[in-house]
Amino acid sequence: MAAATGGALREGQGRGGPCVCSPPLAAVEAVAADWMLEFACSCLCRHFGDRSGAEFRRWSDVSQALINGFFKIPTHQKKTVYLCQLLIRIAKGKTLELQFENGQKISPLESALAFWTLLEKEEIKLEKLHEDIRRLIQIQIVAVHMENGYFKEATELLERLFTDSESDKPLRMKLATIIKNKDPYVPLLQSFSYSLLMSKIKFYIELFMKEKETDFLIQEATKYAESKGLEATTLQNKSMNVSENDESNLVTKQRLVKEQQYITNQSPGDIKKSTERPYSEQKHTGSRVLQSLNNLQNVENHEVSACGRRRQRWTYKEDLELKSGVKMFGVGNWAKILAHGNFDNRTSVMLKDRWRTLCRIDLA
């Protein structure tokens, strides 16, 4: 093929015609990779926050593969790359055992904060939105550790993330008090909730997508779909995928959200008022709030739990990790062992059950 092409070029030159040279294959691949990354990023943006998350996970894998293919991130693609990395980490922000940075035991949200910092450097506008999102990520880094019972780590993160500036001092003192009381469900944290962080990120995504309206692959795919009359078929298929369970879950979720509006709409100053109520009333309210939060989380995870978890055989390496974790943290500290160990899609309950099995094997 190359010889034939070369012959054709030489023949054209012999006749005095212009030499039409094809661009190098590497240059063609670079252009195609640019288009694919922009398309993958736009898909990530569209599916960010979906309840099932299947499409988001799919495009996370695609975008990550394309990003990993860069020897050096092109200047014009920096914002796109940083946004992809940010969204992937925000989506997994509550899963502390996940590690995105090789060799560094930092949580997904800490990694997300680093990419948000890089995004801020790429644009000088939207200062208020930048500050709001930065503050929400910082607070949620602390809050998620508290929710998982890591209060010592939460204190260390608070000291590291919040500076000694006068503007940070009031919030830092309130967060320190919350950590000391070991109560992650106070009104202050609900005012800076994870759902609020997600909504702010979605707003930022909308602004980002407006700048990317010239996405080449989307334009060409839209033209092709319109020419083939695919729009009606696509909409029909989407409507057929809506199940009765989805509708009932939506009603339940709306009811639970209404129950929590009192909490999420309170100002930070309401903390003092709540502590002035009788202890029995505080205890009853706290239990009701916690139950409401748990119910909402169960609704959001309904599709995942309904599918069930496929039984996964324990590997020799995982057994060693478990034994090492028990030796380091002691029997019963399964959450810490899970967070600090290298396990393949395990939960703290799985660790506890496996430890019992290993004990029986050793006694046999």
Check whether residue 84 and residue 197 sit in a common domain.
yes
Check whether residue 81 and residue 205 sit in a common domain.
yes
Rounded to whole angstroms, how far apart are CA atoms 128 and 132?
A: 6
DSSP code of residue 69: T
Check whether residue 335 and residue 202 sit in a common domain.
no
Cβ contacts of 197 within 8 Å, gap of 6 or more: 90, 133, 136, 137, 140
- Classify residue 17: in a domain, yes or no: no
CA distances from 363 to 313, 320, 358 (A): 21, 18, 9
Bin 3: left if φ > 0, else alpha if -120 < ψ < 50, else beta: alpha
Domain that holds residue 73: 26-214
Cβ contacts of 118 within 8 Å, gap of 6 or more: 78, 82
Rounded to whole angstroms, how far apart are CA atoms 63 and 89?
A: 13
CA distances from 165 to 118, 169, 171, 176 (A): 22, 6, 11, 15
Check whether residue 42 and residue 173 sit in a common domain.
yes
- Classify residue 292: in a domain, yes or no: no
Check whether residue 69 and residue 204 sit in a common domain.
yes
Check whether residue 85 and residue 207 sit in a common domain.
yes
- Classify residue 139: in a domain, yes or no: yes
- Classify residue 104: in a domain, yes or no: yes
Work out the angle at residue 169's Cα, subtended by the Cα atoms of residues 168 and 174, and round it to the nearest 5 degrees.
Answer: 105
Question: pLDDT (tens digit, 9 = 90+) per residue, 19-60?
Answer: 556 677 878 888 888 889 989 998 999 899 887 788 999 999
- Domain final residue, candidates 214, 249, 267: 214
Check whether residue 344 and residue 204 sit in a common domain.
no
- Classify residue 15: in a domain, yes or no: no
The torsion angles phi and psi of 346, rounded to 5 degrees, stand at: -110, 165
Asked if residues 335 and 299 have their Cβ atoms less than 8 Å apart, the reply is no
Check whether residue 210 and residue 320 sit in a common domain.
no
* Burial class of residue 166 (count of CB atoms within 10 Å of its CB; 0-12, 13-18, 19+): exposed
Neighbours of 167 (CB within 10 A): 8
The structure tokens listed for 70 are 């860069």
Rounded to whole angstroms, how far apart are CA atoms 249 and 300?
A: 8
pLDDT of residue 5: 39
Check whether residue 344 and residue 206 sit in a common domain.
no
The structure tokens listed for 109 are 């949200």
One-letter amino acid for residue 289 of the chain: V
State the CATH number of the domain containing residue 355: 1.10.10.60
Work out the angle at residue 165's Cα, subtended by the Cα atoms of residues 160 and 170, and round it to the nearest 5 degrees.
Answer: 90
Asked if residues 93 and 83 have their Cβ atoms less than 8 Å apart, the reply is no
- Classify residue 186: in a domain, yes or no: yes
Query: In the chain, which stretches have pLDDT less than 70?
Result: 1-22, 103, 124, 164, 213-215, 229-311, 362-364
Rounded to whole angstroms, how far apart are CA atoms 138 and 134?
A: 6
Check whether residue 67 and residue 198 sit in a common domain.
yes
Q: 182: number of CA atoms within 13 Å, CB side?
A: 6
**How many domains are contained in the chain?**
2
Task: Give how far the C-alpha of residue 64 lies from the chain's centroid of Cα atoms, to the nearest Å.
Answer: 13
- Classify residue 250: in a domain, yes or no: no
Rounded to whole angstroms, how far apart are CA atoms 37 and 28?
A: 14
Neighbours of 209 (CB within 10 A): 14
Asked if residues 344 and 311 have their Cβ atoms less than 8 Å apart, the reply is no
- Domain final residue, candidates 186, 214, 242: 214
Check whether residue 204 and residue 56 sit in a common domain.
yes
- Classify residue 169: in a domain, yes or no: yes
Check whether residue 197 and residue 63 sit in a common domain.
yes
- Domain final residue, candidates 199, 214, 229: 214
DSSP secondary structure string for all residues of 151-206: HHHHHHHHHHHS-S-TTTHHHHHHHHHHHHHT-TTSHHHHHT-HHHHHHHHHHHHH
State the CATH number of the domain containing residue 31: 1.25.40.210
Question: pLDDT (tens digit, 9 = 90+) per residue, 217-247?
Answer: 777 777 777 777 655 444 444 433 444 444 4
322: three-class secondary structure by DSSP = helix
